[in-house]
Amino acid sequence: MPEKETNIEGQPIPFKAETQQLLDILIHSLYTEQEIFLRELISNASDALSRLDFIMLTNRDVLDPDVPPEIRIRTDKDQNQLIIEDTGDGMTRDELRDNLGTIARSGAKAFVEAAKESEGNLADIIGQFGVGFYSAFMVADEIKVVSRSFQPGAEAAAWIARGEDTFRLEKADRDRRGTEVRITLKEDAKEYLDESRLRQVVKRHSDFIQYPIYVGDAEEPVNRQTALWRQNPREVEKEAYQEFYKQLTLDFTDPLAHTHMVVDAPAQMYAMLFVPKDPQNLVFSPRKEPGLKLFARKVLIQEFSTELLPQYLNFIDGVVDSEDLPLNVSRESVQSNRVMALLARLVTGKALDMLEELGADSPEDYAAFWETYGQYLKEGVAVEQDHPEKIFPLLRFHTSKDLAGWTSLDEYIERCGVDQKKIYYFLGEDPNAVKYSPHMDSFRKADIEVLVLTDPVDPFMLMQLNAYQDHPLVNIAAADLPDSEQEEEKKEQSDKPEVDPQEIADMVLRFKNVLGDRVVSVRTTHRLSDSPARLVDPEGAPEQSVQRVYRMMDKNFEIPKKVLELNPNHKIIHGLTKLPEGDPRFNLVAEQIYENTLLIEGLHPDPVSMVGRIQDLIAKTLGED
């Protein structure tokens, strides 16, 4: 940063190294949208006017208090100059130096790093790093900024640079508050002396700036300036929402969903919310952190208010404006204002309604939304302490009957019929594992659909999602079939060939001897049909979802030992009963069956270790020792 003592009138002051790099990039690179510089300068002027509005809420002792807020764009063709002027808060000499001449305020270093890595249109990333002012060097041979602060005793000053290694500070003559940016245009930028071209750029990029923008001697502003969110939703066309969203976010695609609310009670407020189609399109957005723009009576109070939406909805962009926030509210104390809690409840409810309507009206769009943002909502269920059930209708799941598609809880209940009182789910590591899970045997035979939960966040979600519409959620690993299905299952078991009880008892004992204390016990079950065995929790053990939560939170957590259940009617188990004592194949098969169940449950610590045993089994099957 230049030393404060360097104060000789008109003496060149060096830019910081990174700022010099930035200027070199801007001056010598080619851009597909050179006009972006005007958007950035208008945005800076609008910010200056917003700051003055905020100051004047509590302080009328300012220079020219009755001068209306406005932005004027004019040209001087004789001097080949474009002038952008505002009546905002202005700058002192030191502020000109600090704001325009140093890296600390400009974000130049971050811009330079991003520019080196970018293969696209570098002009798009200007706004991301707060270096919008410098974009004017794309079209400028020289820039002169003349400014006078709102402070009554402040003197006017000028900042001058030609895009080289230095800038100058000088005294200036300016009798009114505000800032004038005077650009001496390059030869290839003379199109910006054409007022019709300037109007076109303003309409394209700055139509919803809330302050009037005048071009030339026109008495009518070029931009609409009326806050779109304060208009009657029935009178706003879809295209206007899309255009506003693009100006707000710099996203080049339309939003996936939007909503517009105007509320008179219990608080007077206006809001417009948007769901971006693809977060990757927002890398150049001026929104540098989550949050909504918060206005109090059209005065910008917070650029990124995080108090209006819960964290799990921070992908939503938009604006909120309230008549009920006190005009003297400070940016620091706004979050503790009681009105904010009310606004947050209203805005959150509207955001959830917007998503629910998207799911009902456009299932395909909602599927795209879910694949992009579903993780946020699941996390919301896990952490929401204030009625997490309000998120439940928005959840979507793969199911055992549709591993590619998405199903809501309402759709699941509708399909399962009135006789099924529970919502069954499979908790695993991979969606395809449900095809091979032994826990699915009886559910497949009974043609019962099962939700498939395999995301790392799912166990945390299940801590709160334990029932929906009076249907408890039940893990199939610990579930009984509906009564009617149990009766059918018993009938099928009675029709199967009898197995020798003594042979089965002896085989179970041999399994216990092979596995030792790796399992709590070994027993038979009639719940299996296609699978030879499965692992279940012993009585009193934490639920499977709770165990997974503990595992993710504590790497040293030991999974409780399981019970190995065998299917006495399976051909493998039946075959094992025929192997004589001492046959080495029994131990190999018993070990492999156990480790197969570990693998299916996602509990095997070292699956590669099975290879040797599998090869031994193959060799013995082929009669080779």
SS3 sequence of 30-53? CCCCCCHHHHHHHHHHHHHHHHHH
Convert the pLDDT of each residue in 112-122 to its tens digit. 555 555 544 44
Q: Provide the 3-class DSSP secondary structure of residue 236.
A: coil
| 517 & 431 share domain | no
pLDDT at residue 265 greater than cutoff 70: yes
Domain boundary pick from 185, 215, 245: 215
Distance set, CA 46 to CA 71, 210, 381, 445 (Å): 8, 8, 40, 67
pLDDT at residue 318 greater than cutoff 80: yes
pLDDT at residue 286 greater than cutoff 90: no
Say if CB 63 and CB 148 are below 8 A apart.
yes
Question: What sign results for the dihedral spanned by CA atoms 352, 356, 362, 368?
Answer: positive
> Does a structural domain hold residue 6?
no
What's the pLDDT score for residue 483? 56
What Rg do the C-alpha atoms of the chain give, in angstroms?
34
Query: What's the token pair of residue 331?
Result: 């940016």
Ordered strands of the 533-536 beta sheet: 519-524, 562-566, 533-536
- What type of residue is 207? D
Mean pLDDT of 327-350: 74
| 81 & 147 share domain | yes
- Place 123 in a pLDDT band, splitting at 50, 70 and 90: very low
Higher per-residue confidence, 541 vs 567 = 567
| 351 & 390 share domain | no
Mean pLDDT of 583-598: 93
Domain span at residue 610? Answer: 499-621
pLDDT at residue 4 greater than cutoff 50: no
| 152 & 26 share domain | yes
Q: For 56-65, 74-83, 309-318, 453-462, which range has the lowest pLDDT when averaged over its residues?
A: 56-65
| 158 & 270 share domain | no
- Total count of domains within the chain: 4
Higher per-residue confidence, 333 vs 341 = 341
pLDDT at residue 3 greater than cutoff 70: no
566, β-bridge pairs:
524, 533
Query: CA 428, CA 601: separation in Å to the nearest integer?
Result: 7
pLDDT at residue 91 greater than cutoff 80: yes
Supply the CATH number for residue 517's domain. Answer: 1.20.120.790
pLDDT at residue 474 greater than cutoff 50: yes
| 524 & 574 share domain | yes
Mean pLDDT of 226-245: 91
What's the pLDDT score for residue 489? 55
> Does a structural domain hold residue 370?
no
> Does a structural domain hold residue 180?
yes
| 536 & 613 share domain | yes
Q: For 106-110, 276-280, 283-287, 409-413, which range has the lowest pLDDT when averaged over its residues?
A: 106-110
Higher per-residue confidence, 432 vs 353 = 353
In the block, which residue shows the tokens 């650029």? Answer: 303
Domain boundary pick from 330, 361, 392: 361
> Does a structural domain hold residue 146?
yes
The helix or strand, by DSSP H or E, that contains position 405, with its residue range, turns out to be strand 402-407
Domain boundary pick from 485, 511, 545: 485
| 447 & 512 share domain | no
Distance set, CA 355 to CA 253, 292, 361, 393, 434 (Å): 19, 17, 10, 10, 29
Mean pLDDT of 125-145: 72
Mean pLDDT of 268-286: 85
Query: CA 458, CA 429: separation in Å to the nearest integer?
Result: 10
Supply the CATH number for residue 155's domain. Answer: 3.30.565.10
Q: What percent of the chain has pLDDT over 70?
A: 84
- Place 203 in a pLDDT band, splitting at 50, 70 and 90: confident
| 26 & 171 share domain | yes
- Place 305 in a pLDDT band, splitting at 50, 70 and 90: confident
pLDDT at residue 593 greater than cutoff 80: yes
What's the pLDDT score for residue 70? 96
- Place 207 in a pLDDT band, splitting at 50, 70 and 90: confident
- Place 57 in a pLDDT band, splitting at 50, 70 and 90: confident
Higher per-residue confidence, 232 vs 8 = 232
Convert the pLDDT of each residue in 340-383 to its tens digit. 889 999 999 999 999 999 999 999 999 999 999 999 999 999 99
> Does a structural domain hold residue 542?
yes
In the block, which residue shows the tokens 């695993």? Answer: 428
Mean pLDDT of 510-535: 93
Convert the pLDDT of each residue in 143-186 to its tens digit. 999 999 999 999 999 999 987 778 899 999 999 999 999 999 99
Q: Provide the 3-class DSSP secondary structure of residue 137.
A: helix
> Does a structural domain hold residue 24?
yes
The helix or strand, by DSSP H or E, that contains position 501, with its residue range, turns out to be helix 501-515
Supply the CATH number for residue 391's domain. Answer: 3.40.50.11260
| 48 & 132 share domain | yes
What's the pLDDT score for residue 54? 86
| 457 & 340 share domain | no
Query: CA 319, CA 142: separation in Å to the nearest integer?
Result: 37
- Place 335 in a pLDDT band, splitting at 50, 70 and 90: low
| Mean pLDDT of the chain, nearest integer | 85
Question: What sign results for the dihedral spanned by CA atoms 445, 451, 455, 460?
Answer: negative
Say if CB 435 and CB 404 are below 8 A apart.
no
What's the pLDDT score for residue 325? 78
Q: For 132-146, 312-326, 551-565, which range has the lowest pLDDT when averaged over its residues?
A: 551-565
Query: What's the token pair of residue 349?
Result: 């409810």
Q: For 158-172, 378-392, 484-498, 525-539, which range has the lowest pLDDT when averaged over its residues?
A: 484-498
> Does a structural domain hold residue 514?
yes
| 278 & 194 share domain | no
pLDDT at residue 328 greater than cutoff 70: no
> Does a structural domain hold residue 450?
yes
